[in-house]
Every structure is written in structure tokens, then in C-alpha cells.
Amino acid sequence: MSASLQIPGFLRDVTGDASVVTVNGSTVGECLGDFVDRFPDAKARLFDKNGNLLTYIDVFVNGKSAYPEELARPVASGDELSLLFLIAGG
């Protein structure tokens, strides 16, 4: 099952400036796992040492936040995933 992951500016250096990457998986967790397998430098920017999604990252599926299910949120073929920093500013 493949979905498209929109790459935000803060990960573009990892993907060689690619703005969209096709990822495989049936949940958000599997899709992001596939992504970091192919782009290992992204792992520390998305997950903590225990493999949990960082508290300041929100994942959107078709424009809707995956919170609170997050990594367990199902993903269908053709879905569009995107990422956002949750920090509110300074």
C-alpha cells in the first residue's frame, strides 16, 4: 500500500531536496518507518530514542491531524501524509 509523504522544509536536506517521497505501509508508523529506513538521517528528527514520535511533530493524513492515534492511524493507498512542527513560536 503506497502513500505520498510531503517533505517539509526541515527535512529537505535529508531527501536531497525532494518535496514528495512515496512511502509504503498501512499505518502512519509503518509509512514513517519506511521513510526513515530509506533516509536514515531523518530518524532523529522524527523519533526519540525509544522510537516514539517526537512530541513536537504532528502528522497529517489528507490534511487532518493523526492525533491522538498518531502512529497507529491507518493509511490507505493514495493517502497524502504531511509533517508539521508543533512549537508555537517564541
Partner 1 sequence: MKGNSGKFLRINLSSGKVATETIPEQVAQDFVGGRGFACYYLYRELTPHIDPLGEQNKMIVATGPLAGTSAQAVSRWLVYTKSPLTGALARSVAGADFGAWMRFAGYDFLIIEGKAEKPVYLLLNSNSCQTKPADELWGKDTWKTQEWLSQRHGDNVRTACIGPAGEKLVKYACIVSHRRTAGRCGTGAVMGSKNLKAIVIDAQRNIQLHDPEAFKQVVKEQIDLMQATKGYHHHSEYGTTDTSDITNGLGIFPVRNFRFGRQNGHEKLSAEEYRKFRTGDFGCYSCSSKCGKAHQVTSGTYAGAWSEGPEYETIWAFRGPTDNTNIEATIAADQLCDDLGLDTISTGNIIGFAYELYEKGILTKQDTDGLELTYGNHAAMIALVKKIALREGIGNLLAEGSKKAAATIGKGAEDYAMQAKGLEFPAYEPRGAKSLGFNYATSNIGGSHSYGYAAQEVFGRAFPRAVDRFAEVENADVVVFNQHQRAMLELGVCCSFNAMFGWVPQVYHKMLLAATGIEQLADANYVWKVAERILNMERAFIVREGFRRKDDTLPQRMLTEPLHTNGAPGEGQMVRNLEAFLDKYYEIRGWTAEGIPSPQKLNELGLGFVTKDMVD
User: If binding is defined by CB under 8 A, does position 9 make contact with partner 1?
Assistant: yes
How far is the first Cα of the chain from the last one, in angstroms, to the nearest whole number?
Answer: 39
Binding of partner 1 at residue 84 (CB under 8 A)?
yes
Question: Does 50 sit near partner 1 (CB under 8 A)?
Answer: no
The DSSP code sequence of 3-42 is: EEEEPPGGGTTTTTT-SEEEEE-SBHHHHHHHHHHHSGGG
In the numeric block, which cell numbers belong to residue 63?
Answer: 490534511
Q: Is 45 in the site for partner 1 (CB under 8 A)?
A: yes
Q: Binding segment for partner 1 among 25-33, 35-43, 54-62, 72-80 (CB under 8 A)?
A: 54-62
Residues 15-34 that bind partner 1 (CB under 8 A): none
The residue from 13, 22, 62, 78 that contacts partner 1 (CB under 8 A) is: 13
Tell me how far the alpha carbon of residue 49 is from its chain's centroid: 16
Site membership for partner 1, residue 10 (CB under 8 A) = yes
